[in-house]
Structure 1
């Protein structure tokens, strides 16, 4: 009798478990619709701003590809994803999606046909948007030119190639409602919070991730690594040893050269060009909110760099290499320093950072010509500088800027970056 009872209990638990798994991993399809008629100009203008704030084109437009047609590869620890077509093409894009289907994707990470979207699509942040903003973004996307294009197949490692497992990831990380203003904070601060934590999804790059790709909630905005670049901590920027002010951060966020800090490069460059399309008040609100983020008690404070440049750096081998490869744009007498307000390299955040990663990446990859009004183009040196010369230039710049804290991982960082090329 006891054995039958135990077997019955096991079977019942199994049925319950299967039922729970099915409930977790299945979502219904939402009926297809015909593409809606174009909305009015004001709605489309609002929608365009939401789409720019959300960096949609940054991920959904591959180099040389059509606007919003997808196909950009995203390298993750779990494999390579290719972004999808979000033009209103009815066969390969989202032309058959209704507003409820679009909103479900934005808030829950579920496609119209019911399959789970990978959280590389930042729906954990987009769910914080208001219903009106999501509707406006939908209207704008439905107004762009439809493009017939299907992205390549994803290459995800087992078991993450089984999309339904994302449902359990969502159980851990998909929380929160649309953001509401905090009454005792200014309208500008609240607007900045809404853009940073919602559409801008800044913490998805500027926070460390755990083993399954979720943001560490206790370390939000404490910095991360994206595509081989350091996404620096956004905390304590106003009170740092090399502090930022609002004007500098607004310039940086909008694709310009920030006095005493430099300009956006790498993955941040297209983001800054998107922000540049927004009203300047939005960039100011983002800057205001970020500059209000305080360091956490666990943040380690780096020793200070000396206030003046180190004259002995001129004796290093990298000094001559700098004169030959870099001085025409970056020396104190270079015309570009005056015409484009470029700071001395010893003052830039990349040279003063605790890691040489962003300086190395910038030298190797350069900064492509952009459509910004004040382009800060820099040629790539990946093919003209070998690892020894690259390390020498980086060592020279660091010694000029912060001789008391030399980078001890230069060779290792260069080798790591070169391996990823």
Structure 2
């Protein structure tokens, strides 16, 4: 009896293993001669340029360290909890890039996360979002990529430890966390909402940064858009868990995504800055409106903005109080000397380019990470609002100074509990800041 039971268990294990291997195996797709640029129409290439911009392809496929690299030639270093991963060369170079890939091979990579050679791709390439893309968008993207300058440049090998370096393990990850399939419009919403959802959930892969991940690096589906830590910054919630006192309305979202600054919420900094400036400023306005329309619904903006008028009035009043008479609070004096000249607003609303910190995400998040990042890095004239810069205070403020300013702002600009261990956290964020702008003194 026991022998039969053991034999059954072994047999089931063998069958399960064979079934998994069948699931995991993909054949190579034959190489092709690199297609001539003239084989694609100008209209298709332009549509593909828009698809590439809305997917931020150049952001993750262009090296930024080691002096930078040619656009789309890969070797962009992505730090993950599992080790460093380097992006692929997606120029049409026949040896180092995808010049010998057919359109079918690109479609399989986008939809299923499998390379031309049949190798499972690491989900740092967000195929769990790209799987939602239409055939037309992938075809147009192929036309665009195949007409870019070919760059003969190799990428560095990934730094994943064994057994994570075994690509067959990615098949197991997919079995647990990946559901392939093209986006299906929701008939309960209008065309603008569905266009926004298609872009946000698919090509633009917003959830890849704004959704927390589990211990295996997969997005937590039950916490969609709840916010997450990305590259040493906090990507704030995009849903109604966003804690700012004024609502991210459809117009605020549009202004932010299109121009890099929202009138009430301030500028786009850190990893978010290239999204409006480098990419979404170059695509049709309708698509940006669609994304804003979709997230305003996710955020329940229409129901929440009724409280905005009172929150705005409180913020403006607090901004005025800071500069009334001699202030005995030494933390307030430090804030006045370093920050108030640029962040002061009288009424009835903030001046564009002079963000009111009481309305900014950075003060309302659970941690002071983003506030410290901006203090240390500053914002260049190419980030945030076009032509307006904030200097870095890397050399001007100590960790203790930053902690005092953060504590002061948290207790005077929000209704939330104080942050803890501020000086330690300031030092930790300082360690992540590797490059300081030339104007680092203030």
Cα pair 2:48 2:137 within 8 Å, conserved? yes
What is the alpha-carbon distance in structure 2 between the residues aligned to residue 57 and residue 128 of structure 1? 20
Determine if the alignment matches structure 1 residue 394 to structure 2 residue 398.
no
Q: How far apart are residue 207 of structure 1 and its match?
A: 1.1
In the superposition, relative to structure 1, how do residues 373 and 400 fare at CA in structure 2: closer, same or farther (>3 Å)?
closer
Matches of 2:431 and 2:295, distance apart in 1: 34
Which residue does 1:326 correspond to in 2?
339
2:33 equivalent in structure 1? 34
CA contact 2:410–2:416 (8 Å) conserved in 1: no
- Contact 1:126–1:198 at 8 Å: present in 2 too? yes
Task: Give 5+ residue unaligned stretches, structure 1.
Answer: 296-303
1:22 paired to 2:31: no
Q: Per the alignment, do residues 316 and 41 of structure 1 end up closer, same or farther by CA in structure 2, a change over 3 Å counting?
A: farther
| Counterpart in the other structure of 1:363 | 375
- Which one of the candidate residues 402, 423, 437 is aligned to 1:411? 423
Two-structure CA RMSD over aligned residues (Å):
2.7
Distance 1:3 1:68, change over 3 A: same
CA contact (8 A) 2:268 2:383 kept: no
**Aligned equivalents of 1:194, 1:418: Cα separation in 2:** 38
Rounded Cα–Cα distance in structure 2 between residues aligned with 1:185 and 1:21: 39
Query: How far apart, CA to CA, are the structure 2 residues paired with 1:16 and 1:23?
Result: 10
The alignment partner of 1:81 has SS state of: strand
Q: 1:245 is matched with which residue: 242, 249, 263?
A: 249
Q: Which residue of 1 aligns with 2:265?
A: 261
Structure 1 CA distance for aligned equivalents of residues 380 and 18 of structure 2: 52
Matched, 1:87 2:91: yes
Contact 2:243 2:361 in 1 (8 A): no
- How many residues are aligned here? 408
CA distance in 2, matches of 1:403, 1:150: 52
The structure 1 segments of at least 4 consecutive aligned residues displaced by more than 4 Å after TM superposition are 2-11, 237-240, 304-307
What is the aligned counterpart of 1:285 among 281, 290, 305?
Answer: 290
Q: Which residue of 1 aligns with 2:330?
A: 317
Q: 1:4/1:180 Cα in 2 relative to 1: closer, same or farther (>3 Å)?
A: closer
Q: Partner of 1:201 in structure 2?
A: 205
Instruction: Map Cα deviations across residues 229-273 of structure 1 (whole Å, 9 max, x no partner).
Output: 111111127996321222221111124321111011111111222
Which residues of structure 2 form unaligned runs of 5+? 301-309, 434-442
Does structure 2 conserve the Cα–Cα contact (< 8 Å) formed by 1:257 and 1:376? Answer: no
Q: Alpha carbons of 1:47 and 1:404: their partners in 2 closer, same or farther (altered >3 Å)?
A: closer
> 1 CA distance for matches of 2:242 and 2:208?
21
Paired residues of 1:253 and 1:283 also in contact (CA < 8 A): yes
Alpha-carbon spacing, 1:183–1:323, altered in 2? closer, same or farther (3 Å): same
**Residue 190 of structure 2 corresponds to residue 177 of structure 1:** no
Residue 383 in structure 1 maps to residue 395 in structure 2: yes
TM-score (norm 1): 0.88
